[in-house]
Structure 1
């Protein structure tokens, strides 16, 4: 590739589009842009109204490519206030109303002057020209290029109606088609509002302090390390860390949580959240394009562009469907007059009716409008679904596997029991454990460190060196020159036989649902420490809801021992427990479940157990807000650390799947019924367009029901 070619390929620009009216128009616009010589590749996201151009093209070139549909092209970062024009004030809607007025006058003229009168024909002709002018321009241009889309079919049908003298029917077809286009555009705007509302959550300017100066700056001009000054009742413009003050922050816009969260010095806060009480000073930690809100918006838009399996089927079907309809219409128009002496005017009329009713509009839009609506609704509730395929797969789930720590439990374990053995004291036991665990990232380590700090034990007296983690079992280090181990009873059993006393103590604590860690050397055990992780109050209720909505099996996967796992499982009500699992064992468990049940979800924190999350049919991460790993790893991220979002997500996905199936069946069924009515000659042109328009609108409004799915 030449240097120029590489430069074009690496030049990527993203634009926002206004006036993108339908899926057919979007496909044509994408083709036109692709034909620009300096454009290497193009991707159009219909749901988000975004255009990605790889190569070089001016805004003027892009708008010329979309001139047939009046598409306006704006650079992604350009600030242009969106002018909301009332539905009835839009130019295309005014021409539709004018067409209706002439249509009504035409029918009055029929009753007063007769259908064949010149004045009647002229009135209907005016209704056709006013309502269908833009349609004819595009349709005739497509016809010259042999591009057969919906507008081409309509143009042929209306011109054909005029030729055979069906002026009134041609006028009705034009009006109904224009009305359906206007209503489809309106309903798609409603579906896209979920993204627009996300974009408007965060303020566009903020008050910051630099040195001794306080400045009101646009968010694009705010730098890392700047100090935001947040007053009560204000929204945060950037992500950051609280450095002064404390206040309750309403994070509903990001996490979907309705209860405000208390934030103090050192806590993370997010752009778009609302400061309810006190004043705060926040150090900016992310640029505006990298905030959690910006990532959510980007991923929601990308998700809406991704083709779901049902959409891929529809697109493939429509590719062959339109030419087939044109062939059927042609055969109906010419075969009966030629072979059985049928009336040419009558059979051409029937062929035109096939063209009109055969428009694939309802079928093509049946899936994307449902996907756009469902993903947008979920985002507003704090659930990030990263594509139509994941939305559909979540609707087919039969089994859900849960990581224990931080998912079914709070993930903040506390030391509940300590017992020193053979002359050692508990302070020595706790100090040695703390010295080793200081280097560990395991959740249980933090519980030991907190307990030691409460007991006033200083690290200066116990120093650990040469720390090594023993995956899935514990850790070892030299403490004050002596090699010590801390870990599961299984680890110590591999080194030295456990006494009956230790066995009995361990079993008693494990039956109570506690995790037991032993501390000692290869020769002796100096004591044991029991830690318990508190079960989330919502876990039991969530498991019951999942079982009530038809999830066949809920399974807890844990690295804990069998007794602890069974005790926690009994509290929360899961169907099955797989305990003492290393990360690779969890991966194997998910593979086994997929083989047995087909569709399996894994719910975890998105940081640990990444292989299991990736292997599951649907990986669901808890607490995505502020956790880049969770957002990147999972197929679905519950932005709040709240399991209650899970049943809502499954129900939304199932509803979306059902609505997509309803849309496809209805769109095809109505077309089939209309085609059957052509045989006895019962299908008129206006009935054909009414059926097509009705199918499109019913599909769209059926999809918009997904906006009403609640938690």
Structure 2
């Protein structure tokens, strides 16, 4: 639902905030409640402002905020803080739960904290919040369960004793209404008098006043369920920060004159020498000191295959060491490594993306006060100005208030959205809330990551060239024998190819890994080598083999050669294959008039091969910041969705109008996306877009129905043609019709 809940369930929120400890620097906390993330210390491309600039522009302060369930919460906090004297700017980053405030001298951060608390939210000043004890699920849902129990008791009691049923429905309504009314009052005092909480308070109070207690309780129940779902989606989305920070290990092995020492990764400074063993991730950006080594950089760059790096090359934090222990010289400042910068990009993208203001939220800003004022004028003006009968006009004013009671209008959008989200889940598409569902139907361009999104994300043997005296099966058996037991993705691909053809790996002696180069061994007394062509002397290759190498390189393949003695026996071409459903998925999207484009960190030849097979455009060699820039550029002229599965896609997923993650993708991609394909089928994209467009139509029908009936009965009630009971029927009837219309979306089936 498009609104924020009453914030009396603070424990539940606190539980969802503890993971942000990972964002804070591991050094001592900053003063004044400031809790900068590691990424923030980088201060972006321009660096931190000078002291002189700080004096001129005011001092900067940062808080983490507990209790935000949706982007409109963020707007309410900004409104409350901006009203304070001395506040030059206030901006809430909803995804990372941070408030950034600039205060003019002599600004008082304590006043900001008081304003946040007064608005019903909690400023967190500790860089590492203690882990709260887990609470049973029923305790966090106690408010909804109690309201539901009271409503069931009221309904059953009403069958035996209508007055008792009425009394219990009144009690149920008051139970649900009090916390919402309290939050409405807090927000009114903080500068947001006509929030959705105000709307709900007026609706429920009006229904109570006219005796429609059952309807009042039902509206409150639906509102509270929607709030819980919103809260769940928000806490789930924030897990991405924790998963991203987990890429960088907490500890590092620093090499000193007295030997290796275990230190905290935050203590590393440029110039430190560190050592990382195979299977470990780099705790900082660094320059390689080891002659040759292979690294899996897929989490950071999206490159699907391990990359060989030579001495002197730069490496990114979070990269995984594949084959041999390595030594590096640290090049990044604390809090400014590659992963920190990706986190910073995610935050910037979130800040630049204006949250979609929901229709009801905008509408309620003038609708609620207008209807309350109109009802008051109907009650007061005729008797005072024309001496009309007070009882008659009080009766008509109450009828107007009930007609103005926005129950059907409040339910119209969330009922359709809830039905659509349920239908989407059945189709294997997880959509995180109504804003994403709304935006999905408007997109006209889809940008795809390549690795793991359009392709399978793992190498497979695509072509094998064997040269006399070897033949295909023998060459593959020899390669599999040499690579058996290796965890390198290329080795696994060759072993898997042999298994698919029913070949037993050949028996190879004296097997040995060549750091960053390949494998060597002995077969029938001769030296055998399996490596990249770059590691072979040119004299070992014939002219025919040189031609084959050039042809396969041009096709974007990864190449491996098998040499026996000093002659090449075979050439293996491997690549990342298209997903089975990629062509069908792109075709269905084109049928919906959606342009498709591929954005990848892979090299140009590999990107051209995949894009050519699918008939779409592409941009290759993109780093995370390049992807983000490309998404921003495209987003200026198109309604753009981004589909990805890697950590490097997270900033672009967050910046796009809609971010879509593949179900098998990394936690960071899933948590920063608005939509996730749980079944992992690209054909689900077209289903999700069709469903979104159907939901748009359904919401328009609902709003027209709700407002149309109100307009008709507004006229008839003021002229006295219809009485109070028909006004009640109009409101409850509209609510029922809107709900039934929304339920039609549950029957939606994919194309």
> TM-score w.r.t. structure 1 length?
0.55
> Shift of residue 296 of structure 1?
1.8
Contact 2:407 2:735 in 1 (8 A): no
Q: Aligned to 2:182, which of 137, 142, 147?
A: 137
CA-to-partner distance for each residue in 1:277-301, whole Å, 9 max, x for gaps? Answer: 5433332222342222222222223
Pairs within 5 Å for 1:675-690: 675-676=707-708
Q: Which position in structure 2 is the counterpart of 1:271?
A: 317
Aligned residue for 1:605?
621
Task: Indicate how the Cα distance of structure 1 residues 153 and 320 shifts in structure 2: closer, same or farther if over 3 A, else same.
Answer: closer
Instruction: Tell me the CA shift for residue 120 of structure 1.
Output: 5.3
Confirm or deny: 8 A CA contact 1:329 1:354 kept in the other structure: no
Q: Which residue does 1:47 correspond to in 2?
A: 95
> Would you say 1:80 and 2:129 are equivalent positions?
yes
Aligned pairs (5 A) from 1:197-216: 197-216=243-262
- Alignment of 1:32 with 2:80, yes or no, is yes
Corresponding residue SS for 1:289: coil
CA distance in 1 between counterparts of 2:413 and 2:658 reads: 30
Contact 1:132 1:178 (8 Å CA) reproduced: no
Q: Distance in 2 between matches of 1:614 and 1:103?
A: 49
Q: Confirm or deny that 1:155 pairs with 2:201.
A: yes
Match of 1:501 in 2: none
C-alpha change, 1:111 and 1:554, in structure 2 (3 Å) is closer
Once the two structures are overlaid, the 10-residue window that deviates more, 20-29 or 682-691, is 682-691
- Corresponding residue of 2:338: 292
For 1:139 and 1:267, how far apart are their aligned partners in 2? 58
2:99 is paired with a residue whose SS is: strand
Identify the match of residue 705 of structure 2 among 642, 658, 673. 673
Instruction: Return the TM-score normalized by structure 2.
Output: 0.53
Number of residue pairs aligned between Structure 1 and Structure 2? 532
C-alpha contact (below 8 Å) 1:184/1:696 kept by paired residues: no
Separation of aligned partners in 1, 2:370 and 2:445: 42
Aligned to 1:20: 68
Specify the alignment match of 1:94 in structure 2.
Answer: 142
1: distance between equivalents of 2:738 and 2:109? 35
Determine if contact 1:63/1:71 at 8 Å carries over to the other structure: no
- 1:350 maps onto 2:390 in alignment: no
Q: For residues 573 and 100 of structure 1, do their structure 2 counterparts lie closer, same or farther at Cα, with a shift above 3 Å needed?
A: closer
Partner SS state of residue 43, structure 1: strand
Runs of 5+ consecutive residues of structure 1 not aligned to the other structure: 379-387, 403-449, 456-507, 516-533, 557-564, 577-599, 639-644, 703-711
Residue 545 (structure 1) shift: 7.4
Q: Following superposition of structure 1 onto structure 2, how do residues 347-386 of structure 1 map, counting pairs within 5 Å?
A: 347-348=399-400, 350-354=402-406, 357-358=409-410, 362=414
CA contact (8 A) 1:249 1:263 kept: yes
1:569/1:26 CA distance change after superposition, 3 Å:
closer
What is the CA deviation profile of residues 373-404 of structure 1, one whole-angstrom value per residue up to 9, with x for unaligned ones? 9xxx99xxxxxxxxx9xx9899534999x9xx
SS of the residue corresponding to residue 297 of structure 1 reads: helix
Q: Given that residues 76 and 187 in structure 2 are in contact (C-alpha distance below 8 angstroms), is that contact kept between their aligned partners in structure 1?
A: no
How far apart, CA to CA, are the structure 1 residues paired with 2:316 and 2:342? Answer: 12
CA shift for structure 1 position 137: 1.5
Instruction: Go from structure 1 to structure 2 and tell me whether the alpha carbon gap of 1:304 and 1:651 turns closer, same or farther (over 3 Å shift).
Output: farther
Matching of residues 532-543 of structure 1 within 5 Å: none
Q: What is the CA–CA distance in structure 2 between the aligned matches of 1:454 and 1:359, rounded to whole Å?
A: 73
How many Å apart are 1:37 and its aligned residue?
A: 1.8
**Which 5+ residue runs of structure 2 have no aligned equivalent?**
1-50, 383-387, 431-435, 451-533, 540-546, 555-572, 599-604, 661-668, 670-676, 714-725
Q: 1:75-123: per-residue Cα shift (whole Å, max 9, x none)?
A: 6x923356485573665x32332233333333343334332x5x952x4
Determine whether 1:323 maps to 2:366. yes
The offset of 1:683, in angstroms, is 6.2
1:660–1:34: structure 2 CA closer, same or farther, 3 Å change rule? farther
Change (3 A) 1:665 1:318: farther
- Residue 335 of structure 2 aligns to a residue whose secondary structure is helix
Render the CA deviation track for 1:475-505: whole Å, top value 9, x for unaligned: xxxxxxxxxxxxxxxxxxxxxxxxxxxxxxx
Change over 3 Å in CA distance of 1:216–1:299 after alignment to 2: same
Tell me how far 1:272 sits from its aligned partner. 3.1
C-alpha deviation, 1:35, in angstroms: 1.6
User: SS at the partner of 2:238?
Assistant: helix
- SS class of match (1:66): helix
Separation in 2, partners of 1:683, 1:321: 23
Of residues 121, 127, 130, the one that matches 1:71 is 121
Query: 1:234 deviation in Å?
Result: 3.4
- 8 Å Cα contact 2:250-2:283 kept in structure 1: yes
Q: Which residue of 1 aligns with 2:21?
A: none
Q: Which has the larger radius of gyration?
A: 1
CA distance in 2, matches of 1:395, 1:217: 48
| Contact kept in structure 1, 2:446 and 2:596, CA below 8 Å | no
Question: Is the contact made by 2:288 and 2:315 (CA closer than 8 Å) also made in structure 1?
Answer: yes
Question: Shift of the alpha carbon at 1:187?
Answer: 2.2
Cα distance in 2 for residues equivalent to 1:146 and 1:452: 71
Q: Per the alignment, do residues 348 and 230 of structure 1 end up closer, same or farther by CA in structure 2, a change over 3 Å counting?
A: same
Asked if the contact 2:62–2:100 (Cα under 8 Å) also holds between the matched residues in 1, the reply is: yes
Please, which of 137, 161, 167 is the counterpart of residue 113 of structure 1?
161
Q: Which moved more, 1:202-211 or 1:257-266?
A: 257-266
